[in-house]
Amino acid sequence: MLGKAGNEALRRDRKSFAHANGGKARRFDDAGKGNLFLALVPEHDVALQAAEIGRAVLQRHALSTGSRPHNRMHVSLNAVGKNADFPEDIVFAVSAAMATVKAAPFEVTFDRVMHIASAVVLANAVRSEEIMDLHVQLAKEMWAVGLTFSYNPRFLPHMTLLDDASPVAEHRLVAPVSWIAREFVLIRSVTGKSGYDFIDRWPLLE
């Protein structure tokens, strides 16, 4: 973790991203074209399995939007912010904060398809305590260095299959989607780009 002097310097230099407002997370500026976030990324075979489930849901319900490709499958943990350019100072601050995170590898399991807001997702009937604990820890580390952080006590871990406002009835999968999470990553998605930029990654250690 950065020392006290480093924290103060970050707060002065990154006012637009600094945590403020008496302990509440500031809203993100949605004007940017690039989106930075922390996430879990499934193994290649698992990502292909999820993409196939998305295509099956799309066909079964005759939805108008396309399913997400396997190389965009992820489980969002915490948002960092949206920017019109590549914010090297913010990336540096996040990387320094995330290097202090301590968590062991754990199993991620999704056993059903459900609709959340305007997306069809993979989720689980029982919320993962390990993912929730990681979500909280990441928020605390971002707060400690003065960055905007995201924290949601109702956070429901999920993997988006496709973006569509049409309701899809919740149903269990024949076989769950499961893998062992051994790292978390910092991702930048760019409007109009089909894949993600993987900016940094941190192992989950025993």
**Quick one: pLDDT at residue 9?**
36
Query: How many Cβ atoms from other residues are within 10 Å of residue 119's Cβ?
Result: 18
Pull the structure tokens for residue 182. 């051994």
pTM score: 0.81
* C-alpha neighbours within 13 Å on the C-beta side of residue 40: 28
* C-alpha neighbours within 13 Å on the C-beta side of residue 191: 9
Q: Which helix (H) or strand (E) holds 78?
A: strand 75-83
Of 64, 164, 156, 165, the C-alpha closest to 112 is 156
Pull the structure tokens for residue 20. 């403020």
**Quick one: pLDDT at residue 172?**
96
65-104 pLDDT, tens digit per residue, is 888 999 999 999 999 988 888 889 999 999 999 999 999 9
Q: Which domains does the chain have, with CATH numbers?
A: 40-203 (3.90.1140.10)
Best-predicted range by mean pLDDT among 7-16, 80-89, 173-182, 186-195?
A: 173-182
- Round the average pLDDT of the chain to a whole number and report it: 83
Judge whether residue 146 has pLDDT over 60. Answer: yes
